[in-house]
Amino acid sequence: MPFLKKAVRQLPAILGLLLLVGAIYVIWKEFRTLKIADIKVALASYGVLTFYDRLGTIYAGKKVSYGRVSFASFCAYALSHNLGFAAVSGAAVRYRLYAHWGLTPFQIAKVVAFCSLTFGLGGMVLGGIILFVEPDAVPFFGDKIPRWGMYLLGAGLWSIVAAYVSLSKFVGTMTLPDYRMAVVQVALATVDVAVTAAIVYQLLPDAPGLTYLRFLGVYVASYTAGLAANVPGGLGVFDTAMLLGLEPYLQPPQILGAIVVFRLYYYIIPLFIAGSLFAGNEILLRGGALVKASPNGPRRQALARWS
């Protein structure tokens, strides 16, 4: 039946609209108890992430304004954090935006690879620190592997980072960032992971024995497990790992409460903002394309040049 076929074709758009309305309702409802200062702190972590893309575009050899880089970074990370398969979804957003700004596919690939590698470097630096200072804090393995094994694993993580920085000095910039950029890359990633973990740590109630460094071990292991699972926001995997890792210090309701608030601050609200911004940008781009295609296009192209 024609009517039924037409309704089926419109179903994705209707579902998308319902989800958007639902997201608006949830955020509006939660805003009554949210603190703007806490939201700013969570968004500050995304501010650090903008420098991933900034360095990535420099490494790719294409000058892009910091405003555009920030826009691309925020949209890519906020959407990929929630959609899962971060490497693919984040790359798709970056490709759409950076291609419009004049980057070639090869240059965009270099930006994506740079950003993907950066987080891993920070995780390895902090992971090495935890394995040497607080090896028992690592969930699942901390009490099963002997100390010397944990030290060996920590040394291995640091060796990978040291090898990367050393290669960047001797191999040259054709394949790797230069030495100074590699050092900044490692430092930036370390700060980013530490800051994001601190956001979650502040949401937890005080617990005897749960130092920030011990919590950092649980967080890095849980977040890595969530990334490896390739599910939206590490949903289920991150949460379970956090529950098991923090079980000796806190009750499950206390842990889950902090995780829910963290997801709202770090995932849901940025997703709503980034989704709106990205959708608005798409409308402007498509509108600009229609203007260029119209008979009066050459006289009206200035309307879309800023996007």
Confidence band of 15 (pLDDT split at 50, 70, 90): very low
Mean pLDDT of the 248-265 span? 86
Confidence band of 281 (pLDDT split at 50, 70, 90): confident
Confidence band of 94 (pLDDT split at 50, 70, 90): very high
Nearest to 126 by CA among 182, 198, 67: 198
Confidence band of 305 (pLDDT split at 50, 70, 90): very low
Q: In the prediction, which pLDDT does 303 show?
A: 37
Query: How far is it, in rounded angstroms, from Cα 35 to Cα 204?
Result: 16
* Residue 19 pLDDT > 50: no
Mean pLDDT of the 69-77 span? 92
Task: Give the predicted TM-score (pTM) of the model.
Answer: 0.76
Query: How far is it, in rounded angstroms, from Cα 93 to Cα 90?
Result: 5
**Hey, is 193 helix, strand or coil?**
helix
* Residue 172 pLDDT > 70: no
Confidence band of 111 (pLDDT split at 50, 70, 90): very high
What angle (nearest 5°) sits at the alpha carbon of residue 256, between those of residues 255 and 258?
70
Average model confidence (pLDDT) across the chain: 80
- How many helices (H) and strands (E) the chain has is answered by 12, 0
Confidence band of 215 (pLDDT split at 50, 70, 90): very high
Q: In the prediction, which pLDDT does 159 show?
A: 94
Is 40 buried (19+), middle (13-18) or exposed (0-12) by CB count in 10 A?
exposed
Nearest to 52 by CA among 70, 75, 78, 79: 70
Confidence band of 39 (pLDDT split at 50, 70, 90): low
Taking residue 277's Cβ as centre, other Cβ atoms within 10 Å add up to 14
- Check residues 132 and 171 and name the one with the higher pLDDT: 132
Nearest to 217 by CA among 250, 193, 185: 193
Whole-angstrom CA distances from 157 to 38, 45, 75, 128 are 33, 24, 30, 6
Decide: 68 and 298 in contact? Cβ < 8 Å.
no
Confidence band of 6 (pLDDT split at 50, 70, 90): low
Query: How far is it, in rounded angstroms, from Cα 258 to Cα 249?
Result: 14
Nearest to 282 by CA among 252, 304, 253, 258: 304
Mean pLDDT of the 177-185 span? 87
Lowest mean pLDDT across 62-66, 96-100, 274-278: 274-278
Q: In the prediction, which pLDDT does 16 show?
A: 44
Mean pLDDT of the 271-277 span? 85
